[in-house]
Structure formats: C-alpha cells, structure tokens
C-alpha cells in the first residue's frame, strides 16, 4: 500500500506540476490577452479622440457655413435693395427722357410755327416795302 500511496502521491505531484505549468501558460496567455485588450482600448481611445476632433471641425464648418449663409442673405438683400433703387432710377430717367422728348417735339413744332410766322411777316414786310417804294 505504501507503494500504491507513493505512486498516487507521485501522480498527484506530477499532476500538480503539470497544473502549475498549465496555470503559468494560462496566466501568460491571459496577460497577452490583457495587453492586447489594453492596446485595443488605447486604439479605441485614439479613435474617440479623432472622432471628437472631427466633430469639432464639423461644428467649426457648420458655424462658418451659418455665417456665410447669413452674409449671402445679407448681400442678396442689399443687392435686391440696390437693384430696386437702380430700377426706380432707370424708370424715373425713362419718364424724364420721355417728358423731355415730348417737350422737344413741342418746341420743334413751336419753332417751325415761329419760322413760318417769320417768313409770313418777312413776306408782308417785303410787300409793304414794295408798296411804299411805288
């Protein structure tokens, strides 16, 4: 029985040694997994930081876009106001040109009538001058 106990004890010690080796291998692999997991966590943190940077840039672009949109709307309003003023000025100028054209036409008519009257009066003067000369 001693031999049997001894064999069992030897087997237990061998199994215990094998268990210790397996446990060391397991701990080593576990440590490797932990290191890899820590690496993944670091990479994930890096991605989160980059994403945060992109979000900040996007907010900056959105802010700039909003300012540009406001500037464009403001410019459009100014352009509309100026275009309206220019159109009003164009309309007023056209009305004045039409009015002046009509006045010029009236003056030409009056001038022609005046010229005709002058010719008639010259003719009358010449006739009177001929009569007086006789």
pLDDT at 119: 92
Does an H or E element contain 63, and which? helix 2-133
In the DSSP assignment, the letter for residue 134 is -
Judge whether residue 134 has pLDDT over 80.
Answer: no
Q: What is the pLDDT of residues 71-91, one digit of tens each?
A: 999 999 999 999 999 999 999
In the DSSP assignment, the letter for residue 124 is H
pLDDT at 102: 96
pTM listed for this prediction: 0.46
Q: What is the pLDDT of residues 7-66, one digit of tens each?
A: 898 899 899 999 999 999 999 999 999 999 999 999 999 999 999 999 999 999 999 999
Secondary structure class of 1 (helix, strand, coil): coil
> What span, in angstroms and rounded, lies between the C-alpha atoms of 121 and 65?
81
């Amino acid at each position: 029985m001693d031999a049997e106990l001894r064999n069992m004890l030897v087997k237990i010690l061998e199994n215990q040694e094998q268990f210790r080796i397996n446990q060391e291998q397991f701990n080593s692999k576990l440590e490797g997994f932990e290191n890899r997991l820590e690496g993944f966590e670091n990479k994930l943190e890096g991605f989160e930081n980059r994403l945060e940077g992109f979000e900040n840039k996007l907010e900056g672009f959105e802010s700039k876009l909003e300012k540009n949109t406001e500037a464009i709307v403001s410019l459009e309003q100014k352009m509309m106001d100026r275009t309206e003023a220019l159109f009003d000025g164009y309309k007023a100028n056209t009305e004045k040109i039409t009015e002046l054209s009509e006045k010029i036409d009236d003056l030409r008519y009056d001038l022609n009538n005046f010229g005709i009257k002058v010719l008639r009066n010259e003719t009358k003067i010449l006739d009177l001058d001929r009569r007086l000369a006789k």
